[in-house]
Amino acid sequence: MSFHLLISSSRYPTPTVRTLMRDLHTVIPGSHRVNRGKMSLEMLAETGLQLGVKYVMLVARWRGGPGKLEFYGVNRGGLKLLPPIVYIKGVRFQREYEFSWRKLRIRPKRLFTLKSVGGAAKISEALSRFFGSEGTVESVGNAGEGSVFLEVGEAQPHRITFHSKVKGRIVEVGPSITVRHVVWRVEKPEEG
């Protein structure tokens, strides 16, 4: 199986960081989750190359919970930090939803992005690339079973959510990430 995205964490992840990693892995097709442990960024890059992924996403901790999402391109020279860095204000985990992919033990087959405007559109476009979206759609419409829809809400603060068709109706399946702010200019981070 080929993978598009490797999901890992900063060092010393907390249980909530691990939960967000698992939730994101559950709704992003073509993703692979790796517990980082003592791996350096170079070792993560090597793992990414072995898996054939294009991108690595790190869920970093802040004050004991998930604090930010960082995205990296994978190449033979290592990992290259790519914009944006998404700082997290809050998270609603899949376990807090009536229906979730993890509870149903289903892996999504396809991911699409719901069209956004304004600042949400820029975030949505970046996440679509990293998450391997198959395209942007105007609405969920006639969603097939096994499809997931990524949405970045236009209201401030932006909310990143995932929707799917479950038992014949369109529902939010989680996780939901409330964005604190987004940084578009990135520099090489220290080892984290």
pLDDT tens for 48-79 read: 999 999 999 999 998 878 999 999 999 888 99
Q: How far apart are CA 5 and CA 77, in angstroms?
A: 18
* Residue 191 belongs to a domain: no
Which run of H or E residues covers position 161?
strand 159-166
Query: Does some domain include residue 189?
Result: no
- Is position 18 within any domain? yes
Residue 192 belongs to some domain of the structure:
no
Asked whether the beta carbons of 55 and 73 are under 8 A apart, the reply is: yes
Q: How many domains does the chain have?
A: 1
What is the per-residue pLDDT across 74-110, written as a single tens digit (0 to 9) for each? 988 899 999 999 999 999 999 998 876 666 666 788 9
Establish if 188 belongs to a structural domain.
no
Give the global pTM.
0.91
Distance of CA 167 to the CA centre of its chain: 24
12 contact partners, CB below 8 Å, separation of at least 6: 61
Give pLDDT, residue 24.
Answer: 96
**Six-digit token pair at 29?**
């097709």
Share of the chain above pLDDT 70, in %: 92
Domain that holds residue 114: 5-183
CATH code of the domain covering residue 140: 3.40.50.10480
